[in-house]
Amino acid sequence: MTATTDGSTGARPPRAAAASETDSENPAAAGVYEAAEGAVRRATDFLLAKQDAQGWWKGDLETNVTMDAEDLLLRQFLGIRDEETTRAAALFIRGEQREDGTWGTFYGAPGELSTTIEAYVALRLAGDAPDAPHMARASAWIREQGGIAGARVFTRIWLALFGWWKWEDLPELPPELIYFPKWVPLNIYDFGCWARQTIVPLTIVSAKRPVRPAPFPLDELHTDPADPNPLKPLAPAASWDGAFQRLDKALHQLRKVAPRRLRRAAMNTAARWIIERQENDGCWGGIQPPAVYSIIALHLLGYDLQHPVMREGLASLDRFAVRREDGARMIEACQSPVWDTCLATIALADAGVPADHPQLVRAADWMLGEEIVRPGDWAVKRPQLPPGGWAFEFHNDNYPDIDDTAEVVLALRRVRHHDPERLEKAIGRGVRWNLGMQSRNGAWGAFDVDNTSPFPNRLPFCDFGEVIDPPSADVTAHVVEMLAVEGLAHDPRTRRGIRWLLAEQEPDGSWFGRWGVNYIYGTGSVVPALVAAGMPGSHPAIRRAVTWLESVQNDDGGWGEDLRSYRYVKEWSGKGASTASQTGWALMALLAAGERDSKAVERGVEWLAATQLADGSWDEPYFTGTGFPWDFSINYHLYRQVFPLTALGRYVHGEPFTETVVRVVVEDTAAVEAKGS
């Protein structure tokens, strides 16, 4: 059990409005404050109305059309593609095509080759003729970019399933990988959890090399149909790329002599690994890609579509479909109810909703019910650490994540719950688990400890997105903020995290954002955490962050950052069209730094109030979430609501109540961490 310094359970007391004493003397400032108050009321009403009866919030999670294209290709491969699903998916895919015939990976993105190829093939499945104007524009652009031969490995795997690409011209991924012990480089636990869940089933697919009859040729997507698989020159042997390319060639030769009994046993072991990790709802890890590849892998091993594992897996994929008003069908890559619910709870509490409001209590009840109390893959490196924490999705007990756990704790601390003992125990387990998941450099990754091997990213197979999970500033900041609120600001483990954050500050004063776009997200996460941990707003690191945020504020008063900042840092860092979510992040940092009465904050608040829609929401077509920096981007539809409301609530009511908790340490988590390492 824990108790606050005043003996209560940690719920926030009511706060007085934080209007500046000068507001009454400054009509302009008073006008801004009144506009913010009105915006808070409207946004609060809007968000409360969006809560599910069970207590959770979930906004759509929009990515790109590869999710929809691969869903159709899966159904074609399994022989279950139906006309209605195909029509609805094609309607969505066509609607995302741009005038030049391409598809991108985020709003306003340049055309992306692999995405355009997959979208084109999906529309061919839907019956769109290759000489139709929109299809001809797409195929011409694809050829100009190098054709199918220039696509990423994952796209060519999908095409190989139908004979549109040769399996022997793909990187080898042997199923014997499943036998590598954890101390051997390139064992499956060297990969981030999302990559691990995808790679294990793909080892089976790679070993089986299935080919289904192609429903049509794709000659129009090759620069030279007579030689569709041109050989690329190898990198120098002395380079890492050259070494791994030659390793891949050796694995191709090994395939010819690998003992069949060993290979069959490896595939069966991989299948058991996959089945053991199927969630209660039938999915894998709560995300779509591992589910798709797991279904294909098990099907190749003889599991028929009526087998319970397959039946539930296919049913889970249908739950990723979002039906739009025009009849289009969009596939979510994953779903974010825990993340959305904790962020919504924080936003509403900081906007002045009472701590015992029935909807906040209902949200807390739901979050408490989602606590994970059994070990997952993280226990491979922390076998002595007791379980605890929360995942991102509805069902994902194998992979709780550190970021969600920190934010859920911060959310639960804002609620006056009717069962304080239950709440305290859950928070205590979450804090203990997060502390035990600290990496050796003092920071935190999203899912695993010390997931920093340099080798997985070098594999020819891994040419798309991040495949490891190193610590990041945004996750570390959220953990530090949570620990500070829990009364552990001076704990040596918290101080190590703070030192790591200070060392990671960019020369311009910003911080890199791994899971949100990008330097605005990183900075908006770190500054409130440092202040919560006791760092004064006058500290040089915070002053540099404030100066940077002021320097990148847009002329309209808002903040925005384009995803191109991940690729072109100097040109795009902190630059982009103003968005509600990114303006919220910037204001959260400035307010934490003590800049409430600054012109930058006033202009940011004015922009949010002026751009709010009549129903209390904000419009935000831009993608401000990150799956893989640059490669896979996310538009969280609830971000446009929770972060502006959080920022405006803190402007109106002051910084969140952070009276620290006096913790009675029941278990020595430092000793547990030492045992696990």
Structural tokens at position 454:
């340099």
| Strand bridging mode 625-628 / 632-636 | antiparallel
Contact partners, residue 456, CB within 8 Å, separation at least 6: 186, 190, 191, 195, 462, 467, 468
| Residues 653, 20 contacting (CB under 8 angstroms) | no
Please count the other Cβ atoms lying within 10 Å of the Cβ belonging to residue 171.
Answer: 20
Q: One of 68, 190, 365, 403 is an active-site residue; which one? A: 403
Structural tokens at position 316:
């889970």
| Residues 50, 32 contacting (CB under 8 angstroms) | no
| Residues 320, 335 contacting (CB under 8 angstroms) | yes
Structural tokens at position 645:
């409301």
| Residues 658, 528 contacting (CB under 8 angstroms) | no
| CA gap 214, 208 in Å, rounded | 18
Per the listing, tokens 């929360």 go with 390
Q: 23: closest CA among 671, 626, 424, 602?
A: 602
At 139, phi and psi to the nearest 5? -65, -35
Q: 640: closest CA among 616, 656, 658?
A: 616
Which H helix or E strand runs over 297?
helix 288-300
**Residue 562 annotated to the active site:** no
Per the listing, tokens 């918290």 go with 494
| CA gap 2, 664 in Å, rounded | 6
DSSP state letters, 373-398: -S--GGGGT-TTSPP--B-SSSS-TT
* Per-residue buried b or exposed e for 398-411, using 16+ beta carbons within 10 Å of the residue's own CB: bbbbbbbbbbbbbb
CA of 289: how far to CAs of 66, 164, 199, 238, 519, in Å? 10, 21, 10, 34, 28
What is the DSSP secondary structure assignment for residue 231, as one 8-state letter?
P
Structural tokens at position 97:
């095509």
| Residues 172, 248 contacting (CB under 8 angstroms) | yes
CA of 518: how far to CAs of 385, 511, 576, 621, in Å? 32, 8, 11, 16
Structural tokens at position 165:
């690409």
| Residues 566, 520 contacting (CB under 8 angstroms) | no
| CA gap 286, 299 in Å, rounded | 20
| Residues 532, 658 contacting (CB under 8 angstroms) | yes
Which H helix or E strand runs over 635?
strand 632-636
| CA gap 332, 580 in Å, rounded | 22
Q: Which residues are catalytically annotated?
A: 403
